[in-house]
Structure 1
Amino acid sequence: GTESDTATIIFTSGTTGTPKGVELTHKNFICQLKDIGALLPLKTGDKALCVLPVWHVYEREIEYCLLYLECALCYSKPVGSIIMSDLKKIQPNFMACVPRVWDAIYKAIQKQVGASSTGRWVLFKTCVGAASTILRMYNIIHGRNQQFKPPLFIFKIVNKVLYFPILFLLPMKALGEIVFFKKARSVFGNNFKIGISGGGGLAPKLDKFYNSIGMRLVEGYGLTETAPICSLRSYKRPVLGTIGKIMPYCEGRVVNRNGQECKPGQTGVLYIRGENVMKGYYKQPELTAEAVVEGWFNTGDLVIRTFKGDIIVKGRQKDTIVLRSGENVEPFPIECKLAESPYIAQAVVVGQDKNCLGALIIPAKDNIKAYAEQNGMDTSNFPAVLKSDLIHNLIFKEFERLITQKNGFKPFEKIGKFVFLDKQFEVGVELSAKQDIIRYKINELYKWQIMMMFSDSSMAQNLQNLGNMKDTIISKIPVKGGKKPQ
C-alpha cells in the first residue's frame, strides 16, 4: 500500500442528518504526528488517560501522536465518577477530551468547595477572581491577548503599569494556591502536564478557570474531514479564547460572503487546504465537489483571525439564527454564557424567523431546589417548583445578569422566552458521540415545546385546554384490560 491509500471511512451526519462516509488516507493521519508532537511537553514513558471512543477521529489521531511520542495509553470512560477515580489511580501526564468532560470535572471541584461552608466558597471565588485577573493582565503585558491590529509602541510601555495591580493581587492568589488551587490540581494527579480540549467549543469560564489555577489546558480544532486537527493552541505562548494558529501541514483562509479574504477582526468562514484534508466522501462525488473546491475544504465554521494568526471560533455557519428583524445571531457564545448560571445546567438557544430569541433550559435541579427552599417553597413536587413565578423570575434575572452589552452581547441577543426541559440530554439522542448538541435533532424532538414557547398566550392557553380536555375525556372512558387509551 501507499500513503495515498484509504486508511478508514468514518461516517458522519454533520448538521443535516444525512450520512456521509469521510474517506481518510494514511497520509491524512501521518502528516500530523511530528507537528502535533512538537506542541506537547511529553516524553517517552509518560502516561495518557484516554476517555473518548477509540473509533472517534479525534481520539484516534491523539492516540497515533501519543504512540509516536512513545507514551503509554491508559483507557477510561467519559463518565465523571470513573474519570475522577482513574485520574487518582493512574496519575497521568496528559488527557485529551471534550468540553463536557472538562465541565464535569470543574463542577465536581466547585461542588467539593461549596459543600464546606459559605465563607469558604466566597473565599474560593475571590481567589479564583484574583488569579484570573492576574493571568489576564500578564497576557496583556506579554501580548498574549486577542488583538486584531498591531499595538502602538506607546501601549507596550503603558501596559507595563499593569505590574502594579498584579503585585497587589498576588497575596490573594498565593492564598488561593495554599488553600484551594493545589488541591484542585491534585484531582488530575501529581504528574499532570497538559490537557487538550477538542471536539467542540470550550466555554470561556472553563478556559479561564483551569489556566488561572495553574493547570495547562489548551484548545484544539478540527473536523472529521480534516483527520481532524487543523489547529492547536501553543502551551508556551497561549492566547486564551483561541484555538491557536493553523498547523504547518495545512493552510487556512477566512472568507466573507462575497468570497473575499477577511482582514483580522472580520468574521468569515474558515477554509482549510493541506495534507490532512480528506480524499472525499465515499461514493458521493457531488457532495465532495461541493465541499472541496480547488483543494480548499469549507469547514462551515465562522471564525475571526487575530493579526498574529490565532483563530477564534464564533459558531457554525448553519447554526446561525436569523431573527424576523433580519439580525444574525450565533447561539454558541450565548449558550456558554448562560451555562455560567448556577441555576442552568445547559441551554440551547432557538428563534429562527422569530421576533426574539428563546431558550430550552435544562435546570440545575439541586441549586434551584435550594433557592426555592430558601424562599419558603415546598420542593417535594419539583415540576410544580419549575412552574412557579419565583423560579421563572429567577431565570429571567439570570438572563438579564449574563446577556449584557458589558459581556459583549448586542441588544437583540437577549433571551425573551424560555421553557424548561424535564430530562438531561443523552448521547445518541440529542448529543453526538463527542457530546456536542445536535441542533437539527433538538429542533425535531422539542418542536412542540418550541412552538408553545413562541405561541401567543391565548393560543398557548387554548392548546393547553385541549390537552386538559383530552385527559378528562380519557379518564371517563371505561377501562378494559387495565390500560387507558392513548
Structure 2
Amino acid sequence: MRDVSAPPLVETPQYGGLADTLYEAAGRDPQRVQLARRAPGATDWTEVTAGAFRDEVLALAKGLLASGIRFGDRVGIMARTRYEWTQFSYALWSIGAQVVPIYPTSSSEQVSWILADSRAVACVVEHEDDAMTVGAACDRLPTLQRIWQLDGGCVRQLTRLGRGVSDETVHSHRTAVDPHEPAAIAYTSGTTGRPKGCVLTHANFAVECDTLIAGWGELLAPPGEQPRVLCFLPLAHVYGLMVQVCCLRAGIVLAHQPDPSAGSLLPALASFRPTFLWGVPYIFEKIYHRARQVAAEDGKADLFDRAVETAVSHAEATEARRTGAGPAPGLALRARHRLYDRLVYSRLRAVLGGDVRYAVSGGSTLSRRMGLIFAGAGITVYDGYGLTETTAAVTAQPVGRVRFGTVGRPIPGCAVHIAPDGEVWVRGATVFSGYLNDPQGTAEVLRDGWFATGDLGTLDGDGYLTITGRKKDVIITSGGMSVAPAVLEERVRAHPLISQCLVVGDNRPYVGALITLDPDALVHWQRVHQKQPSADWGAVADHDLQEEIQRVVVTANTAVSRAESIRAFRILPEEFSVGQGLLTPSLKLRRRAIVKAYAADIDELYAN
C-alpha cells in the first residue's frame, strides 16, 4: 500500500483564536478546575479554576499591552515547562500576538538566531542565566525591546502595569484574531542544520487538538471523571505545546513538571496521580529500566523478568486475537498474567500514580517490545507520529486497534503517501503553511499540497505506518550497501546499560557503532557483578563489560543481514548531551556533530 487517508472528524474553525476557549470555558463554568500548580519544593497541588485562570491571563494581557506589545508582534518564551508558560502563551494569544518557543537549553548562538529570524520584540526568560544568554545577543537583535524574567516577578510586575487597561481593549484584540493567522513560530530542533521557523496557525492547533479529543477522548479518564494530565514535555516543543492546548480546549486539569528526570518526575506523578500520560519513548524506557533495577536490588530480578515475558506473551496473544492472526491468551497464560498483575504490574502502574491506563508516546517510535510490555502490564501506549511541521501528530493508533511497532494510521482529516524512494509524505489541515523567511526551503518540502517529511516508512495492508529511518541518515558503505541505522540503534539502546547508540559506516568497509552507557545502570551492573560500584567511565575498559555489550550487539544484529550488521563498536567515556551540541533539545542525535566530535574514535573502529 502506498496511500491511505481518513475523513475529517472536525471542521476547521472559521473565526477566533486559541485564547477564545479559555474565556468561553470560564464563562460557562468559572468554578470548574482547569489547572493545578505548586510552589517550588512543595508536594501539595493547588487547584486553579477556569475563572481564576481567565482573570490571571486577562490581567497579564493588559500588562503586555501596557508595555507596548501589539497585535501581530512576536514574543519569545524561553523557560522550562511551568505554569507561567501557559499564562504567557494565552495572554499573548489574547491580544493577537504570536509565541516563539525557545528551548531553555539553547546556546547563545541558537537564541540569537531564533530571536533575529522571528524579529521578536520581547522575550520571557526563566531566570538570570537565561536573561544573560539573551542579553549577550541584544546587540544583534534590533527589534528586541524587552526581556522579562519569571523568577524576577515579571508576571506580578506586568499585572500591576496593566491595571489602567480595560477588559474591552483586550477583548477587541482577541476577537480580531483570524484562525489562519500564526499562533506560534515553532523552530525545528535542527538535527541537520540551522533551525527553521515553522509558521503554525490557530487553525492548525485547533484542528489537531479537536481531532485528537474527538477521536481519542474516551481514553483520557474513566467515564464521569475529569481527566488529569501532568505535562513534563518541553512546551518549547510542538508536542508539549499541543498537549497544553488540548488540555485547555478539552477541560483537562493541566499540571506542569519542569524537571523530567526520573528523580523529580516520579514523585510528581505519584502526588498528582494523572489519569493519562503524554510522553516520549525515553520516558517509558526509563520507567521500565528503573522498575527492573529496583526489582534486582530487592533480589527479585528473576521474578520481574518472568513477569515481563508473561506481559509480552499476553499482549501479543491479545493483539493476535484482535487482528485474527491467532488465538486469544490461553488459560495458563491468563493465570500467570493475573498472578504477576498482583506481584509486579500493579507496582509498575503505581510508578505513574496508579490511575493511568492509557498513554501516548510521540517524538520517535516506541519499540514494539516496549509497547507490549506496558500493554501486558495494564497500560496501553498509543504510539503516534508527527513533526513540528504537522503541529504534532499526523498518525496515531486507532482506539482499541493498536499495532505495536507501528505509529498507527492517519488521524482523521489527514493522508499519508509513500513516495517511490520510500519517503513519507503527508497532508491535512494540521500541516504548516511554510518556513518563516525561507521560501526556498518551503518549496522544497511542500509539493502540490503534500509535505515531504524526510522520513522513510512503509504502509501495511491496513494502512498502518512504520517509520524505518530518515533519508539523510541512510549510511552507504564503501561496498555500496545502504543501511538505515534506526533499527540497529533501537535494538542496541533497548538494553538497560546503554543510553545512546550511533551507527556509523558512511564510505567505510562495514558498519560500526558508538555507544554510551547510563551512569546509574552502570553502577547497578557493577554491584550485581561484584565489582566496586563507581560511575567512573574508566570502567569502559572492563573486559566483562565489553563482553556484555558485545552480546547486546550480536543480538541486535539478528534484525538485519550480515552486510548490514555492526562489526565493531566503541564505548565512549561520556553520554551525548544537549550542552555539548550533540543532542537536540528534544534528545535526538545530532549525527553530523557527533561524527565530527568523535572522528578519531570512528577512525579507530576501522584501524585494524
So what's the TM-score if we normalise by structure 2? Answer: 0.66
| Cross-structure match for 2:560 | 409
Are the structure 2 counterparts of residues 176 and 3 from structure 1 closer, same or farther at C-alpha, using a change threshold of 3 Å? same
Aligned residues of 1:379 and 1:385 also touching (Cα < 8 A): no
Read off the aligned partner of 2:288 and give its amino acid letter.
Y
Read off the aligned partner of 1:78 and give its amino acid letter.
P
| Cross-structure match for 2:246 | 65
Aligned residues of 1:15 and 1:318 also touching (Cα < 8 A): no
Alignment of 1:47 with 2:201, yes or no, is no
| Cross-structure match for 2:349 | 185
| Cross-structure match for 1:11 | 187
Are the structure 2 counterparts of residues 369 and 102 from structure 1 closer, same or farther at C-alpha, using a change threshold of 3 Å? closer
Instruction: State the Cα distance separating 1:373 from its structure 2 match.
Output: 7.4
Alignment of 1:122 with 2:302, yes or no, is yes
Map Cα deviations across residues 118-162 of structure 1 (whole Å, 9 max, x no partner). Answer: xx211221122122112112211221xxxxxxxxxxxx5xx55x3
Aligned residues of 2:475 and 2:485 also touching (Cα < 8 A): yes
What runs of 5+ residues in structure 1 fail to find an aligned partner?
A: 144-155, 258-267, 458-486
| Cross-structure match for 1:2 | 178
Distance 1:375 1:121 in 2: 14
Secondary structure class of the residue paired with 1:35? helix
| Cross-structure match for 1:392 | 546
Are the structure 2 counterparts of residues 294 and 102 from structure 1 closer, same or farther at C-alpha, using a change threshold of 3 Å? same
Q: 1:297 aligns with which of 432, 440, 451?
A: 451
Read off the aligned partner of 1:101 and give its amino acid letter.
I
Secondary structure class of the residue paired with 1:199? coil
Instruction: State the Cα distance separating 1:370 from its structure 2 match.
Output: 6.6
Map Cα deviations across residues 159-218 of structure 1 (whole Å, 9 max, x no partner). Answer: 55x34x622222221211111111111111232242211112223332121111111211
Map Cα deviations across residues 347-393 of structure 1 (whole Å, 9 max, x no partner). Answer: 11111111111111113456656766787877779555422444333
Are the structure 2 counterparts of residues 32 and 453 from structure 1 closer, same or farther at C-alpha, using a change threshold of 3 Å? same
| Cross-structure match for 1:209 | 373
Distance 2:566 2:302 in 1: 29
**RMSD of aligned alpha carbons:** 2.3
Alignment of 1:74 with 2:255, yes or no, is yes
Alignment of 1:244 with 2:412, yes or no, is no
Distance 1:126 1:243 in 2: 28
Are the structure 2 counterparts of residues 188 and 384 from structure 1 closer, same or farther at C-alpha, using a change threshold of 3 Å? closer
Aligned length: 425
Distance 2:527 2:183 in 1: 58
Distance 1:375 1:86 in 2: 33
Q: 2:493 aligns with which of 339, 343, 349?
A: 339
| Cross-structure match for 1:349 | 503
Aligned residues of 1:341 and 1:398 also touching (Cα < 8 A): yes
Instruction: State the Cα distance separating 1:230 from its structure 2 match.
Output: 0.4
| Cross-structure match for 2:473 | 319
Aligned residues of 2:584 and 2:590 also touching (Cα < 8 A): yes
Read off the aligned partner of 2:308 and give its amino acid letter.
V
Aligned residues of 1:372 and 1:385 also touching (Cα < 8 A): no
| Cross-structure match for 1:279 | 433
| Cross-structure match for 1:359 | 513
| Cross-structure match for 2:280 | 98
Distance 2:494 2:597 in 1: 25
Distance 2:515 2:373 in 1: 24
Distance 2:520 2:434 in 1: 47
Secondary structure class of the residue paired with 1:355? coil
Secondary structure class of the residue paired with 2:287? helix
Aligned residues of 2:527 and 2:533 also touching (Cα < 8 A): yes
Aligned residues of 1:204 and 1:336 also touching (Cα < 8 A): no
Distance 1:374 1:106 in 2: 18
- The aligned runs of 1:375-454 (5 Å cut-off) are 382-404=536-558, 408-428=559-579, 429-454=581-606
Read off the aligned partner of 1:424 and give its amino acid letter.
E
Aligned residues of 1:98 and 1:435 also touching (Cα < 8 A): no
Distance 2:496 2:433 in 1: 45
Distance 1:380 1:314 in 2: 37
What runs of 5+ residues in structure 2 fail to find an aligned partner?
A: 1-176
Instruction: State the Cα distance separating 1:433 from its structure 2 match.
Output: 1.8
Read off the aligned partner of 1:29 and give its amino acid letter.
F
Aligned residues of 2:226 and 2:253 also touching (Cα < 8 A): yes
Secondary structure class of the residue paired with 2:330? helix
Q: 2:398 aligns with which of 234, 243, 251?
A: 234
Aligned residues of 2:385 and 2:407 also touching (Cα < 8 A): yes
Read off the aligned partner of 2:244 and give its amino acid letter.
E
| Cross-structure match for 2:8 | none
Map Cα deviations across residues 317-360 of structure 1 (whole Å, 9 max, x no partner). Answer: 11111112222111111111112334423211111111111111
Read off the aligned partner of 2:216 and give its amino acid letter.
L
Instruction: State the Cα distance separating 1:7 from its structure 2 match.
Output: 1.7
- The aligned runs of 1:114-193 (5 Å cut-off) are 114-117=296-299, 120-143=300-323, 156=324, 162-163=327-328, 166-193=330-357
Are the structure 2 counterparts of residues 351 and 174 from structure 1 closer, same or farther at C-alpha, using a change threshold of 3 Å? same
Distance 2:527 2:263 in 1: 28
Secondary structure class of the residue paired with 1:17? coil
Distance 1:15 1:371 in 2: 32
Are the structure 2 counterparts of residues 445 and 185 from structure 1 closer, same or farther at C-alpha, using a change threshold of 3 Å? same
Are the structure 2 counterparts of residues 280 and 172 from structure 1 closer, same or farther at C-alpha, using a change threshold of 3 Å? same
Distance 1:200 1:84 in 2: 22
Aligned residues of 1:32 and 1:249 also touching (Cα < 8 A): no
| Cross-structure match for 1:108 | 290
So what's the TM-score if we normalise by structure 1? Answer: 0.82
Read off the aligned partner of 2:377 and give its amino acid letter.
I
Moved more, 378-387 or 17-26: 378-387
Distance 2:374 2:239 in 1: 22
Distance 1:100 1:371 in 2: 20
Distance 1:348 1:325 in 2: 20
Are the structure 2 counterparts of residues 453 and 62 from structure 1 closer, same or farther at C-alpha, using a change threshold of 3 Å? same
| Cross-structure match for 1:88 | 270
Aligned residues of 1:17 and 1:440 also touching (Cα < 8 A): no
Distance 1:376 1:193 in 2: 38
- The aligned runs of 1:27-38 (5 Å cut-off) are 27-37=203-213, 38=215
